[in-house]
Structure 1
Amino acid sequence: MIRTILPLLLATVLACKEQPNNQSTEVIDLRATIASLNNQLIAAAKARDFAQVDNLYLNNAILLAEYNPLIAGKQDIEKYYTEMFKRQEVTDYQKETTELFDFGENILEIGDFKKSFNNAQQQEGKYFNVWQMSDAGTLHLKSESFGYYHPIDSPAALRVYLPEKMLTPRKTSLELEAYHALNENCVRDRDTEKLLTSYTNDAIYYPFADTKKAGIEVLTEHFTAYHAPPVKIDSIEIETFDFIPADDGIIQYSQFFVKWTVPGFSGTTEGTGQIYLKRQADNSLKMHRQLGMHVHNE
């Protein structure tokens, strides 16, 4: 009997030991697959040929490119890249995935990139990609968002003027609108303390033309400085264009419009943003990852 039991116990122990390795392999395969797809995007940029990656984008994909309004649909995304490829001669392009959030049907990839050109300023920046898993097990871009870690000398060179069309929100959510109202009040009132309650303790914010701000302490320093005088917010409007339900929250795409005043001068700022809001134990939503960008207008 002992001789019979021992092999069974040994087999059970080995099976238990192998299980974590199988799980790790799944994660590594997902990272490897996304890395391969990113290499295709890099190759297309170097070749200046969108046709090489046309099959990676869903027809209703969304693009949030720094200095540009929100771009919706693969046809307009192709127009954007076709124009940018005419302007930019890429000599080196590197992408590195820093985080993956696997929600099953959708995967949020966050990463860093570096680009060098023959004819333009070198770029270092951040990106949020949402990949959608098909029934066949292939990944396609549901959305692509990117901004820069530094100011750009000539933002006009990165602005593509597509034929104007009215973008109507694809989805609306009363819950998200309530959070918009809260954040609008916080920004208008320059209320750092209340705004910080909208973030998780380990949140990471990627602001416009700046490095990432990780953790509530760093966010406190950032928003305290950001809300300091003499800027006065006259009005602010945030609207949701689309959102994707996730296992533990929501991925949201938004546009914002701000009117502001400083002594002797006033102006407007327009921008876009992508936020991963994470559901909390009390069922509330808090911002866990956030990317903010501005639109350049002549």
Structure 2
Amino acid sequence: MNRLSFIFFLFASVGFAQENSTNSSIKKQIEDYNVSFAIAFTKGNQDDLAKAYTDQTLFMPEHSRQRVGRKAIRDFYKQWLKQAKVTSYQKTILELQDFGNYVLEIGTFKEDLNLNEQKAFSYIGKYSVLWKKPSKKSVPPTIAAEIWGSSSYFDDKNIPDINDIEIPKTKKYMPTDKLTLEVKERNKAIKEMVQNRQGAEHAKMFMPDAMYLTYYTPILSGEKEITDYFTAHEKPGTLHIEQISIETSNIIYAQKAIVEFGFYSVDWRDGENSGNVKGKSINVWKKGSNGELLLFRQIVNHD
């Protein structure tokens, strides 16, 4: 077992009690960043938009492929602002989960933008940012990962068309330590449930106090909302999943959770209609009462 796995099990042994409230200084730094980001976005200041990202940041925009690092992220915003004028932008923080050396921010956003020669559009959705805590309080936290998605279906012609041609394909995470293998086994089980249309069983992979942020849907909180969603979304019928892959691109062993970065591909058929859907996710795993890994927070969007 590697050192990171040992640290995770050490914290797991105390039962993963609910995290204490996030340090007030970190909370203030995140709130200040959100305000400064909104100002930079509406003014089109690309340098300020990229200041919290690092060369290792995993960036998961909706309707675009995963990007890694400040340079690729800056290029994303350059393309976005070249095509659209952002007239207003606001984030509302719903929760901050303290994982010891990382903080997970979850909230909602509203972005009013005007695409070139198109009507104004309000892009409304939810987001999650994984912040890495600094070693010194005087240093601001950095963004380890970010993902967002709309809270309802929308025509992607209303948002900029981002060119991903130079973005390399996401690679599988290959380590074979015990925790990674356990995560992969859980994903294998999820894959089979999705393919067999076992929505109610899929919902049992979540903790009772879980949150699920999926595509074109408001935030789902708690056992009932998540169970109702999967029971309806993955029910037997005319829709068939012909092929599905669920892979891991990276894992962070935080002190109080496993944060997995995933990507998926689904080939589906419904009568004469068929297609392929690709996407990505941030999956926060914790140990349940029976010792098995369960999803505590999951955030998903389409490429």
1:282 aligns with 2:278: no
Is the 2:111–2:122 contact (alpha carbons within 8 Å) kept by the matching residues of 1? yes
Deviates more, 1:193-202 or 1:182-191: 193-202
The correspondence for 1:217, drawn from 212, 224, 247, is 224
Distance 1:226 1:247 in 2: 33
Shift of 1:155: 4.5
1:46 is paired with a residue of what secondary structure? helix
Who is 1:17 aligned against? none
Deviates more, 1:235-244 or 1:189-198: 189-198
Structure 1 alignment gaps of length 5 or more: 1-22
Is the 1:64–1:71 contact (alpha carbons within 8 Å) kept by the matching residues of 2? yes
Distance 1:214 1:156 in 2: 28
Who is 1:112 aligned against? 108
Who is 1:81 aligned against? 77
Q: CA RMSD in A?
A: 1.9
Who is 1:152 aligned against? 154
2:268 is paired with a residue of what secondary structure? strand
Distance 2:86 2:42 in 1: 5
Shift of 1:79: 0.7
The correspondence for 1:192, drawn from 178, 195, 199, is 199
The correspondence for 1:175, drawn from 182, 186, 210, is 182
| Equivalent runs, 1:241-280 vs 2, <5 Å | 241-280=249-288
Who is 2:93 aligned against? 97
2:202 is paired with a residue of what secondary structure? helix
1:67 is paired with a residue of what secondary structure? coil
The residue identity in structure 2 corresponding to 1:141 is I
2:51 is paired with a residue of what secondary structure? helix
When residues 204 and 155 of structure 1 are mapped into structure 2, their CA distance, relative to the original with a 3 A threshold, is: farther
Q: Percent identity?
A: 24
When residues 175 and 156 of structure 1 are mapped into structure 2, their CA distance, relative to the original with a 3 A threshold, is: farther
Who is 2:243 aligned against? 235
Distance 2:51 2:112 in 1: 26
1:127 aligns with 2:127: yes
Higher relative contact order (CA 8 A, sep 6+): 2
**Structure showing the higher helix proportion among its residues:** 1
The correspondence for 1:203, drawn from 203, 207, 210, is 210
When residues 58 and 280 of structure 1 are mapped into structure 2, their CA distance, relative to the original with a 3 A threshold, is: same
Distance 1:227 1:62 in 2: 29
When residues 30 and 44 of structure 1 are mapped into structure 2, their CA distance, relative to the original with a 3 A threshold, is: same
Who is 2:144 aligned against? 142
When residues 246 and 91 of structure 1 are mapped into structure 2, their CA distance, relative to the original with a 3 A threshold, is: same
Is the 2:203–2:227 contact (alpha carbons within 8 Å) kept by the matching residues of 1? yes
Deviations 1:97-146 (A, max 9, x none): 11111122211111111111244410111111011122223201111111
The residue identity in structure 2 corresponding to 1:96 is T
Task: Please identify runs of 4+ aligned residues in structure 1 that moved more than 3 A.
Answer: 155-159, 169-172
1:161 aligns with 2:168: no
Shift of 1:147: 0.7
Who is 1:14 aligned against? none
Distance 1:196 1:87 in 2: 39
- Structure possessing the higher radius of gyration over alpha carbons: 1
Question: With structure 2 as the length reference, what TM-score do the two structures score?
Answer: 0.84
Is the 1:121–1:153 contact (alpha carbons within 8 Å) kept by the matching residues of 2? no
